[in-house]
A and B are shown apart, each in its own frame.
Chain A
Amino acid sequence: MSCDDELTVKVDNISFSYGAKKNLCAKTLKGITIDARQGQLIGIMGPNGCGKTTFMRCINKVLKPQEGAIFIDGKDLDRLKMMEVAKICANIPADVPDDFHLSVEEFVALGRYPFVTGIWWEGEKDEQLVREAMKAYHVTHLKDRKLAELSSGEKARVLLAKGAVQQPKILLADEPSAHLDLKFKLQVMQALKDLSRQGVTVITASHDINLIAKYADLIIVISEGGIISYGPPAEVINEDVIRVVYGVEVTVLRDNGELYVIPLRPVDPENGDDEDTRPREKGIVAD
């Protein structure tokens, strides 16, 4: 945290395409360039199948872009081993594996896997971090519970604890609040915000425009694999962008720096704007 202006994620003109037969359009990502600084909370918006998930999978090296380069923490992603990436970049998965009787504590401890030096057991420091993370996300009382016994709100907190215990410089969270009710949605986003204030660069994708506008420092709007708009929420989000990207008429209310998007109706299909992007999702989103 020595320098607040440090660049932690630099994405330089990347393009990515899945196998040609899987996809109608040739490229899933087209010439994406972003710079993310330490401690920023970056929200990614865009309709289903626009390439949000693909973009995030490129950042942690699960996918390799055919063109362009990505630098994390100043290092060329291409030259890092997965284990080195894992020490910099954590990821919050959508769900927990709940039919194998893993306890909450065991699950959170998996986040320490890249750092464990012994053959079998986590060290004292790892255990210390696991305890701290469980405390920070209020799951200490659940530590011996099986994952299958948790409510979705508890699962979300456990997932956050597992991400935090990895002590990442970059945290990726794809739809972290998708199945949660309003209170937990806010809690999860606040937790991500807190992490970013502690110096973690958080990149999160969400369909909830209001939620992301409330918490994100910067918003990236992706549509059909390209960046439509990039900047602070107040600059990026307006009626036109949302109509073009989501095909929905909205009213955007602004009040004291806060911003509220109220959906009105889908853009009239007879205008031809209401192209259904859902079928393409199958080829793109895989988890």
Chain B
Amino acid sequence: MEGTKASRAKLKLALILGMGSIGIVILFILSLTTGVMDISFHEAMSGLWNLIQNGGEHTDNKELVLWQLRIPRALGVIAVGIGLSVAGAVMQALIRNPLVDPYITGVSSGAGLGATLAVLAGVSILGMTTYSLPIIAFIGAVGAFMFTMALAEAAGGRPISYVLGGVIISIAMQAGTTLLMYFNADRLHGVLFWLFGSFAYLDWSSVKLIVLVVAVLSLVMLLFAKEFNVILLGDEQARQLGMNVRSFKTVMFVLVSALAAVCVAFTGVIGFVGLIVPHLVRMLIGGDHRLLLPASMVLGANILLVADIVCKTVVAPSELPIGAIISIIGAPFFGYLMIRMGKEYVM
């Protein structure tokens, strides 16, 4: 006998979260063993165990590397993977366009311009030298997103308006970044690493912040999974089902831009994750946000962990920029989606 739909969905959810979490744990440990210094699986496990027991007190160089570099990095990758995927899924529902994500809506390029300003033009927030870059990148990200929203609303707020608005804002932001780089060609290295996207420079204090923001905001969005289903019907239909659409959308737009902005502010431009992950999940298990959001979270973390491990190992001891790797996979996928959905998005 089949149980109720809710009980079947709960079972499915438990299965997804269980499998996804196992994947995350395995990849997390694998991630600890990859990098410039040779650390074996056994050393990683015992080091991790010692560190947890001693509260981060390291006894040798390998534990130092684990504690200072690899653990925060892997945690950061997981958090950003979760954050970008949730942000993508939520933006797609709010805008009612399955082809948007933080990259398409200008968040990433806005953060890019902000970061470039911070590094090259030396713009800094008074008294906050360490966090100048992420803060200014954050402001750039939120600003660009708001511009995109305003532009799209002014153009009639149709689902396609947001894609076009995002393209326009992205081009403008990238042009600003290019000009800044052109006039500061001697100091490009610092900003290039950021623009390519990298988890190499994550330290504990930034990771804690990312994890906290991603955890809180994702949880809030999860709580409203049912409402994200209703919003797919369109504003007027959602209102007629009793939702307070305007305030829901306003709050969620603010939260989702903050979530996406925090993810890119510390780690740089990592596109397409927020687009690909919810799409893959929809194809696999359907569009109900009560399953879609949690599944996107674990899949996003898994995919980004794999990508980061690839970046660390392919050209070791050097590293590939993760943003570029993700985009190499993401661009053809995006193209495929466009062709598949072409009939519905005739411009």
Contacts and interface: CB of A to CB of B under 8 A. Distances in A.
29 contacts: A57-B236, A60-B240, A62-B236, A62-B240, A83-B242, A85-B242, A86-B241, A91-B237, A99-B98, A100-B92, A100-B98, A100-B282, A102-B229, A103-B286, A103-B287, A105-B5, A106-B287, A109-B5, A110-B241, A113-B241, A113-B243, A120-B225, A121-B9, A121-B290, A123-B6, A124-B4, A127-B4, A146-B286, A287-B236
Interface residues of A, number: 40
Contacts of A24: none
B47 to A, nearest CB: 40
B53 to A, nearest CB: 38
Interface string A102-136: 11011001110110100111111001001000000
Contacts of B9: 121
B187 interface: no
5 tightest Cβ-Cβ pairs between the two chains A and B? A83-B242, A86-B242, A101-B287, A121-B6, A101-B282
Q: Is the interface of A mostly helix, strand, loop or mixed?
A: mixed
Contacts of B242: 81-87, 113-114
B244 interface: yes
A93 interface: yes
B239 interface: yes
Contacts of A111: 241
B313 to A, nearest CB: 35
Nearest to B5: A127
Interface in B219-250: 223, 225-226, 229-230, 232-234, 236-237, 239-244
B70 interface: no
A97 interface: yes
A241 to B, nearest CB: 31
Given A82-B242, A86-B241, A91-B240, A100 B232 contact: yes
Interface of A: 57, 60, 62, 81-87, 89-91, 93, 97-103, 105-106, 109-111, 113-114, 116, 119-124, 127, 130, 146, 166, 287
B312 interface: no
B344 interface: yes
A97 B240 contact: no
Contacts of A60: 240
Contacts of A85: 240, 242
A91 B239 CA distance: 11
A93 B6 contact: no
Contact of B341 (A97, A99, A105, A113): A99
B286 A102 contact: yes
